[in-house]
């Protein structure tokens, strides 16, 4: 990965990085507040040997420097601690006190620094001074040869212990600073790891590489679209309406030689936004003066009738079982001549019903009457209905949700279309981030209720070379980007 790749990841996942840093700071603040303040007092001792001339003084200095390292270990031992506990009458063991004592040899000197840490600053000072004084007398006893009164080495307290004014620990600023740095590093690592492991679609190029089909539209997420799912509730020059017109144009240049087209719109899994895309696409086609039929081919969880507020009890299933004719079940919608064939009663065997001769006859009749037939089909992976419908149509349009649908899901969807001999006309990348800010669990119960969190959204539209491509009579796929926003199942 290059530097610009890391910058792209950080720009896209900066909230994750900031969240990790804030979480680390919060933990550091909590731990700092929870810890009991510890105070440390310090005293220094000078280690020396008796001498009578300069030669002895030099040798004594060397001897003292060799000894002082050993004294640093002795002063923290239980022997000195036991004497301090006994002298002060402390309510603690020698082992507990020795754990509070630390010592350090000043480099290249014969000076020994000793400190004691305690939760009480006065207690820390008293213990430190007692340890220094006790150790000085301890060295005299330790270094005095038998039969003599003069010790070979002595320790002199040169700096007495003072009462500490501020605690040694915890140190809030240091803890928070280290936590911020650690959180930042962890956040960056997690962001990069998530990007490396993420197998969802983020760019149109990724989608085109997997499907080998042109991108017909890149649809931007807009949470407000749940309240206004259809473009007829908007102005004729609104960005959302214009975006669907471009999407319509791109689709019209697929199979230009056919007089009538049956196009199935589907997705890999639920909640990818196919139904609002299907409905608005049919509306824009009708607004262009074409004879359009919108067929609710999802016989498990029909939603077209809900968006259009048409009668759902008569429709596809009613015609297939022979109860009513196509003329009796087609319903007009809007002022542009759009005809809608709702699902009808939900059958117990949708896939078997779709494979009947009656379904073939229905599509033939629809071809005879209309220029374009748009079929809203169920997702491809959970059930076989969409693949069966696509095999009877001129092709399919696959809706893919940005950052949600995985490469494996799209690959399996394309394979499922190939297995039945259906053609993938193009794809729509749905719910992409706004340009300004730039599993298979479908189940049999698909037709018996809406999943929580369904929404639809629309956004802005961006067009590159679509107009030129359209004027030249060529498909406007890779040279154009259509950004609308829609979202539901």
Selection from 384, 397, 393, 381 nearest residue 422 by Cα: 393
Q: Check whether residue 292 and residue 334 sit in a common domain.
A: yes
Residue 66 domain flag: yes
**What tokens were used for 153?**
């080495």
Residue 480 domain flag: no
Q: Check whether residue 28 and residue 73 sit in a common domain.
A: no
Q: How confident is the model at residue 450, as a pLDDT?
A: 35
Residue 485 domain flag: no
Which residues have CB under 8 Å from 421's CB, separation 6+? 391
Q: What is the DSSP letter of 445?
A: G
Q: Which sign does the torsion angle of CA 380, 383, 387, 392 carry? A: negative
Cβ–Cβ under 8 Å, residues 459 and 224: no
Rg for the chain (alpha carbons), in Å? 40
Residue 476 domain flag: no
Q: Check whether residue 404 and residue 423 sit in a common domain.
A: yes
Q: Check whether residue 31 and residue 139 sit in a common domain.
A: no
Q: Check whether residue 181 and residue 207 sit in a common domain.
A: no
CATH of the domain at 48: 3.30.70.1130
pLDDT above 50 (res 460)? no
Q: Check whether residue 128 and residue 214 sit in a common domain.
A: no
Please give the full DSSP string across 82-139, using - where no structure is assigned: HHHHHHHT-SS-HHHHHHHEEEEEPTTSSEEEEEEEESSHHHHHHHHHHHHHHHHHHH
* More confident of the two residues 464 and 229: 229
Integer angstrom CA distances of residue 224 from 246, 284, 303, 438, 454: 21, 20, 19, 19, 12
Selection from 481, 457, 468, 488 nearest residue 243 by Cα: 481
Q: How confident is the model at residue 256, as a pLDDT?
A: 62
Side-chain-side CA neighbours of residue 419 (13 Å): 12
Q: Residue 47 in 3-state DSSP?
A: strand
CATH of the domain at 267: 3.40.50.300
Residue 9 domain flag: no
Q: What pairing do the DSSP bridges indicate for beta strands 372-376 and 261-267? A: parallel
Q: Check whether residue 367 and residue 459 sit in a common domain.
A: yes
pLDDT above 90 (res 115)? yes
Integer angstrom CA distances of residue 416 from 179, 384, 397: 50, 9, 13
Mean pLDDT of 177-202: 89
Q: Is the pTM of this model over 0.85?
A: no
The residue with tokens 């109860």 is: 323
Q: Which sign does the torsion angle of CA 246, 250, 251, 257 carry? A: positive
Ramachandran sector of residue 371 (left: φ over 0; alpha: ψ -120 to 50; beta: rest): alpha
Residue 477 domain flag: no
pLDDT above 60 (res 487)? no
Mean pLDDT of 309-321: 93
Q: Check whether residue 183 and residue 239 sit in a common domain.
A: no
- Expressed as residue numbers, the domain containing 175 is 14-35+171-191
Domains: count for the chain: 3
Residue 4 domain flag: no
pLDDT digits (tens, 9 = 90+) for 28-72: 999 988 988 999 999 998 888 765 444 444 555 666 677 788 888
The helix (H) or strand (E) run that includes residue 442 is: none
Residue 6 domain flag: no
- Dist. CA 178–CA 484, nearest whole Å: 44
**What tokens were used for 432?**
């992409």
Side-chain-side CA neighbours of residue 354 (13 Å): 26
Mean pLDDT of 137-148: 81
Q: Check whether residue 375 and residue 358 sit in a common domain.
A: yes
Q: Which of 79-93, 106-120, 150-164, 222-236 has the lowest mean pLDDT?
A: 222-236
pLDDT above 50 (res 477)? no
Q: How confident is the model at residue 1, as a pLDDT?
A: 65
pLDDT digits (tens, 9 = 90+) for 335-384: 888 999 999 999 999 999 999 999 999 999 999 999 999 999 999 999 99
pLDDT above 70 (res 455)? no
Q: Check whether residue 397 and residue 254 sit in a common domain.
A: yes
Q: Check whether residue 138 and residue 237 sit in a common domain.
A: no
Q: Check whether residue 177 and residue 205 sit in a common domain.
A: no
pLDDT above 60 (res 194)? yes
Q: How confident is the model at residue 485, as a pLDDT?
A: 41
Confidence of residue 463 (pLDDT cuts 50, 70, 90): very low
Q: How confident is the model at residue 59, as a pLDDT?
A: 54
Which residues have CB under 8 Å from 192's CB, separation 6+? 1, 6, 9
Edge-to-edge strands of the sheet including 39-48? 101-105, 111-118, 39-48, 154-159
């Amino acid at each position: 990965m290059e530097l610009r790749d890391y910058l792209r990841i950080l720009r896209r996942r900066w909230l994750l990085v900031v969240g990790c840093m804030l979480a680390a700071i919060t933990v550091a603040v909590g731990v700092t507040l929870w810890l009991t303040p510890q105070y440390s007092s310090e005293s220094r001792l000078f280690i020396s040997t008796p001498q009578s001339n300069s030669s002895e003084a030099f040798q004594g200095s060397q001897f003292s420097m060799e000894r002082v390292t050993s004294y640093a270990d002795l002063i923290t031992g239980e022997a000195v601690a036991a004497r301090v506990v006994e002298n002060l009458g402390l309510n603690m063991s020698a082992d507990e006190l020795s754990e509070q004592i630390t010592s350090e040899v000043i480099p290249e000197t014969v000076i020994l620094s000793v400190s004691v840490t305690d939760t009480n600053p006065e207690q820390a000072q008293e213990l430190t001074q007692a340890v220094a004084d006790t150790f000085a007398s301890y060295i005299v006893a330790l270094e005095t040869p038998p039969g003599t009164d003069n010790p070979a080495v002595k320790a002199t307290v040169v700096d007495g212990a003072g009462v500490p004014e501020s605690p040694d620990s915890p140190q809030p600023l240091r803890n928070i600073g280290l936590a911020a740095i650690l959180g930042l590093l962890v956040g960056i690592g997690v962001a990069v790891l998530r990007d490396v492991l993420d197998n969802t679609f983020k760019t149109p190029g990724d989608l085109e590489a997997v499907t080998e089909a042109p991108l017909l539209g890149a649809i931007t997420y807009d949470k407000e679209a749940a309240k206004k799912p259809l473009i007829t509730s908007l102005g004729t020059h609104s960005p959302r309406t214009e975006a669907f017109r471009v999407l319509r144009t791109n689709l019209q240049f697929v199979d230009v030689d056919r007089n009538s087209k049956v196009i199935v719109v589907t997705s890999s899994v639920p909640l990818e936004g196919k139904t609002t895309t299907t409905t608005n696409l049919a509306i824009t086609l009708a607004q262009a003066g074409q004879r359009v039929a919108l067929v609710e081919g999802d016989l498990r969880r029909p939603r077209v009738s809900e968006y259009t507020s048409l009668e759902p009890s008569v429709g596809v299933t009613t015609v297939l079982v022979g109860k009513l004719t196509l003329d009796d079940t087609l319903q007009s919608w809007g002022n542009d001549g759009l005809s809608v064939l709702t699902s009808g009663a939900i059958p117990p065997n949708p896939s078997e019903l779709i494979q009947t001769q009656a379904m073939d006859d229905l599509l033939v009749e629809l071809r005879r009457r209309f220029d374009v037939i748009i079929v809203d089909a169920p997702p491809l992976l959970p059930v076989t209905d969409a693949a069966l419908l696509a095999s009877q149509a001129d092709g399919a349009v696959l809706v893919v949700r940005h950052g949600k649908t995985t490469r494996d899901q799209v690959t399996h969807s394309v394979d499922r279309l190939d297995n039945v001999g259906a053609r993938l006309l193009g794809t729509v990348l749905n719910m992409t981030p706004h340009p300004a800010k730039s599993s298979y669990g479908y189940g049999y119960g698909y037709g018996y209720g809406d999943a929580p969190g369904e929404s639809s959204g629309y956004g802005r539209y961006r067009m590159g070379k679509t107009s030129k491509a359209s004027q030249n009579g060529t498909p406007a796929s890779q040279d154009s980007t259509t950004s609308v926003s829609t979202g539901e199942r």
